[in-house]
Amino acid sequence: MTEPLDAHGQPLIRAYNCKQHHDRTLDELLGLAKGMAADGCINQLEAEFLQKWLIKNNDLNATWPINVINNRVNQMLCDGVLDGNEQKELLELLCSFTGQIPVERELENMSCTLPLDSPPPALQFQGRAYCFTGKFVSGTRNDCQTAVLQLGGAVKNTVSKKTDYLVIGVIGSRDWVHTSYGRKIERAMELRDEGHGLAIVSEDHWAQHVYGTEPF
């Protein structure tokens, strides 16, 4: 009996199992990164353990965000030493991945900042398509979408090649497949890696363009 195929010509069962493996591996990495960053510092042994984990799971080293973390860890440890600046940089990198936050914001779960465009681009609205993901302190998602429409932009519920901007809310969504990001962010990274001109921006950056100030 011929195995059914998906839209890309791949066997459905095999593709499903592959996605399940991908999600489990990412959740394992999220847990590892959260544990490493919990005390606010990263030491040499922790960095070396992370590098060994990445080598063990190298079948996913070409996929975001593992590719970003793998490249930076290898660069930091290429001389065998994690110096003070690299310790700080690795901590910031892992926090941007997990959504861990400074104490003063006192929110349980923040969005992943790793995929954000750096430097953030100037935003345009007339004729540009926006998609939103996460929770927003600027207002409800409907409020954010209405603001875009009033400025002459369009709103999309899913990320596609026709999306110009993905705006990530400050607060992580409980509906996300991973604690600090979800499928929309994954899809946006795939499109950006393929060369599509999609920008990924934070709610803070978006709010500065819409309201002239950060939301908090």
- Which of the four pLDDT bands, split at 50, 70 and 90, describes residue 216? very low
Residue 101 has pLDDT above 80, yes or no: no
Highest averaged pLDDT of the listed ranges 16-20, 62-66, 74-78, 93-97: 74-78
pLDDT: which is higher, 67 or 102: 67
pLDDT at position 95 is 85
pLDDT at position 181 is 67
* Percent over 90 (pLDDT), the chain: 38
Average pLDDT over residues 131-156: 89
Compute the distance between CA of residue 210 and CA of residue 128 in angstroms, rounded to an integer: 14
- Classify domain 129-211 by CATH architecture: 3-Layer(aba) Sandwich (3.40)
pLDDT at position 136 is 85
- Which of the four pLDDT bands, split at 50, 70 and 90, describes residue 14? low
Which ranges in the chain are annotated with CATH 3.40.50.10190? 129-211
Average pLDDT over residues 153-170: 94
* Percent over 70 (pLDDT), the chain: 81
Please state, rounded to an integer, the average pLDDT across all residues of the chain: 82
Compute the distance between CA of residue 32 and CA of residue 112 in angstroms, rounded to an integer: 15
- Which of the four pLDDT bands, split at 50, 70 and 90, describes residue 21? confident
For residues 170-179, one letter each, b for 16 or more C-beta atoms within 10 angstroms of the residue's C-beta and e for the rest, the string is bbbbeebebb
Q: Is the dihedral of CA 96, 23, 130, 174 positive or negative?
A: negative
Lowest average pLDDT, out of 62-76, 136-150, 201-215, goes to 201-215
- Which residues have a Cβ under 8 Å from the Cβ of 204 and sit 6 or more positions away? 170, 214, 215
pLDDT at position 59 is 86
Contact 142, 168 (CB under 8 A): no
pLDDT: which is higher, 212 or 37: 37
